[in-house]
Chain A
Amino acid sequence: MTQANSNGSTIRASTVESEPPTIAIKSLNHVYFDYQSKKTVHALKDVELEIQPSELVTVVGPSGCGKTTLLNIIAGFIKPTEGQILVNGRPVNKPGKDRGVVFQELAILPWRTVYRNIAHGLEIQKVAKEEIERRVRRLTELTGLEGFENHYPHQLSGGMKQRVAVARTWAADPEIILMDEPFAAVDAMTRQTLQEELLSLTVRTGKTVFFITHSVEEAVFLGDRVIALSARPGRVKADITVPVSRANRSWREMSKNDALQECVEDVLELVRGEATASDRSGGAVSADRTHEA
């Protein structure tokens, strides 16, 4: 377990120097004016982070710590006040198909069928029809959506809808996938299934994933590394490497594995202090979410 100092400059980053990291976040600061509370909000402070190819990095932190803002900046929806994001060494300034996003709230199109939602990114990239069919079929298999191709989203359960969102993002085949609490709105049982499915999907496809959550268990269960953000202004408080390989994880395993449990305890300890700190500061708790909407 490697633990970072409070500046967030990780020990890992310095050890891998041969090629540029997939994502590099450099001295990032973000300040914005919130029209609802009529206050200037310092959302992120001096964030430094590097993510290597095929890594799955999860980010936890108290509500309102700027997690979603960070994701929106990487996605290119928001321009940071200071600092920059490098993807494979090139600076990011707008959304692109190299970075797919799975949103917390449902962002699939209600007027397209499951099939056409999954195919959407491929249609945009003008992929040949047969190729689209092949890839959609593969992803409906991987995500358990077979038989639902001609359904409209409103005919599906919450978990199924989120599977469509995941499948659509994977179908477009981006190098990086950003996920913003994608399973927060589904029931607990479905969530565990979706999490296990996501693990096997990422292991099979080797995508680089940046995953935001407020659940420490989820963060540890899914991540190669867990980044703990502090209360606002969000800083990288710790960068923890999860001690078990992602390939052999399951929820059954999770409850039995002492190393994983210990890791959960460690992160909980870190985040718990922050949660009470953010409560005491009394700020708009859900600010990072309202900002996006």
Chain B
Amino acid sequence: MKPDDVAKGRSAVGSEAGTAALHAAAVPGAVTRVARAGATLRPAAPFLIALIIWWGAWALLRPPDIILVPPNKVFSALLDLVRQGLLDAFIKVSLERLARGVLVGILIGVPVGWLLGLNEDVSRAAEPILRFFNAVSGIAWLPLMILWFGFSERTISAIIVYTMAFPVIFNTMLGVSTIPNRLPNACRTLGAGSLRIIKDVYVPGSFPSVMTGFRLGIGYGWRALIAGEFVVGGGGLGFLIFNARTQGNIAEVMGGMIVLGLLWLMIDRLILSSVEQNIIGRWGLMRT
């Protein structure tokens, strides 16, 4: 017990010393503040340099407006879109389409993935055909979907769902099938039945992998959405940039692309990776 107390005492002293050091450093506050600002700004540096290169290339070559416009024109084009209320309308259309497709994709993908992961014979039967249709990208079905559903929302939904379903299926299957046999076996010796084992072992055990599938699937679905909006139209960011090109409005094309990129980063980072990290942080690294 004594060494314990000693250790505690020492660690307390250590932590006091630590805070003291912090205070000492904080006295010439301005310096650290500048350094901290520098650290947060650092990721912005490459973007600044890219902007300068972009602007420099434009100033040097002076290409016609239908090839390249300087950054300030892109910015004002975006401002115009915001002022007209078009940008948020288009964002809303695109996000709604994505959400609808993702929802249906998950509702199909997770149960199928489960079925495949739990039953080896079923997975061996189904895997080759799934691999094949996964290789036929969703975009390749656009022409047929147009014949079936016309230039409509349903066409766009269909290809998002199609694109989304495969990564969700494969990852769910992987998550379920890679749970070591000893976990369900151990539960069986505790008296658990099949339903109980599914609830207590397979659902939580496959969850991280299912989330990976969602994340990949939403990424693929996002690309399918853009392609679908090029062809089908009816609003949305894909439609915005494709339509702007036909009108020779490169400022709007580039502005739309930047919004697409930012939006995607937000979706990916904020929602999905935070969920993933929470789970993996709490349960420890489970994918071995």
Q: Cβ of A103 and Cβ of B186 under 8 Å apart?
A: yes
Task: Indicate if the CB atoms of B190 and A97 lie closer than 8 Å.
Answer: yes
Task: Indicate which residue in B181, B190, B205, B282 contacts A100 across the interface (CB closer than 8 Å).
Answer: B190
Q: A152-B284, A153-B284, A155-B284 are in contact. Are A107 and B191 (CB under 8 A)?
A: no
Task: Tell me the minimal C-beta distance from A12 to chain B in angstroms.
Answer: 27
- Kindly provide the distance from the CB of A73 to the nearest chain B CB, expressed in whole angstroms: 13
Does the CB pair B191–A105 fall under 8 Å?
A: no
Cβ A97 vs Cβ B191 within 8 A = yes
Q: Contact check, B191 vs A121: say whether CB atoms are below 8 A apart.
A: yes
A109 and B200 within 8 A (CB): yes
**Chain B residues within an 8 Å CB radius of A172:** 190-191
Q: Does B188 contact A (CB under 8 A)?
A: yes
Instruction: Tell me whether B188 and A95 are in contact (CB under 8 A).
Output: yes
Assess whether B124 is interfacial by the CB under 8 Å rule.
Answer: no
CB distance from A64 to the nearest CB of B (A): 19
Q: Are A75 and B180 in contact (CB under 8 A)?
A: no
Q: Is the CB of A121 within 8 A of B190?
A: yes
State whether A110 touches B284 (Cβ < 8 A): yes
Chain A: CB-nearest residue to B191:
A97
In the bound complex, what is the Cα–Cα distance between A111 and B204 (angstroms)?
Answer: 7
Within 8 A of A (CB), among B258-288: 282-286
Which A residues are in CB contact (< 8 Å) with B283?
110-111, 152, 154
Q: Which residues of A contact B182 (CB under 8 A)?
A: 103, 105, 107, 292-293
Q: By the criterion CB–CB under 8 Å, are B284 and A101 in contact?
A: no
Report the minimal beta-carbon distance from B277 to chain A, rounded to whole angstroms: 14
Q: Mark A251-293, 1 if CB is under 8 A from B, else 0.
A: 0000000000000000000000000000000000000000011
For B280, give the chain A residue with the smallest CB separation: A154
Binary B-proximity of A81-122 (CB < 8 A = 1, otherwise 0): 000000000000011110111010101111100000000110
B190's partner among A111, A124, A292, A293 (CB-CB below 8 A) is A124
Q: What residues of A have a CB within 8 angstroms of the CB of B196 in the complex?
A: 124
In the complex, what residues of A have CB within 8 A of residue B190's CB?
97, 100, 120-121, 124, 168-169, 172
Are A154 and B285 in contact, with the CB atoms below 8 A? yes
Interface size on B, residues (CB 8 A): 23
On whether A109 and B185 interact (CB within 8 A), knowing A97-B191, A121-B190, A152-B284, the answer reads no
Q: Which residues of B contact A105 (CB under 8 A)?
A: 180, 182
Q: Cα distance A34–B27 when bound, in Å?
A: 71
Question: For the complex, would chain A's binding face be called helix, strand, loop or mixed by DSSP majority?
Answer: loop
Could you tell me if B282 and A152 are in contact, using CB atoms closer than 8 angstroms?
yes
Determine if B200 and A120 form an interchain contact, defined as CB atoms under 8 angstroms apart. Answer: yes
**CB distance A95 to B181 under 8 Å?**
no
A111 & B205 in contact (Cβ 8 Å cutoff): yes
**B282: nearest chain-A partner, CB-CB:** A152
A174 partner residues in chain B, CB cutoff 8 A: 189
Q: Which B160-196 residues have a C-beta within 8 angstroms of A? A: 180-183, 185-192, 196
Alpha-carbon gap, A39 to B100, bound state (A): 52
A96–B187 Cα gap in the complex (Å)? 10
The smallest C-beta distance from A117 to any residue of chain B, in angstroms, reads 10
Question: What is the CB-to-nearest-CB distance from A267 to chain B, in angstroms, rounded to a whole number?
Answer: 28
Identify A95's interface contact among B185, B200, B201, CB under 8 A. B185
Whether the pair B284, A293 counts as a contact (CB closer than 8 A) is no
Please give the distance in Å from A206's CB to the nearest CB on chain B. Answer: 19
Partner of B187, one of A99, A111, A124, A152: A124
**How near does chain B come to A136, taking the closest CB pair, in angstroms?**
14
The answer, yes or no, to whether A32 is at the interface (CB within 8 Å) is no
Q: When the two chains form the complex, which single residue of B189, B191, B204, B285 contacts A109, counting CB atoms closer than 8 Å? A: B204
CB of A37 within 8 Å of the partner chain: no
Q: How far does the alpha carbon of A153 sit from the alpha carbon of B186 in the complex, in Å? A: 16
B186 touches A101 (CB 8 A): yes
B176 → chain A closest CB, angstroms: 14
Taking CB atoms, residues of chain A closer than 8 Å to B282 are: 111, 152
Which residues from chain A sit less than 8 Å from chain B, CB to CB?
Answer: 75, 77, 94-97, 99-101, 103, 105, 107-111, 120-121, 124-125, 152-155, 168-169, 172, 174, 292-293
Can you list 8 A-B pairs with a CB-CB distance of less than 8 A? A95-B188, A97-B189, A101-B189, A111-B283, A121-B191, A153-B284, A169-B189, A293-B181
**3 nearest CB pairs, A to B:** A154-B284, A97-B191, A121-B190
Interface residue ranges, B against A (CB under 8 Å): 180-183, 185-192, 196, 200-201, 204-205, 207, 282-286
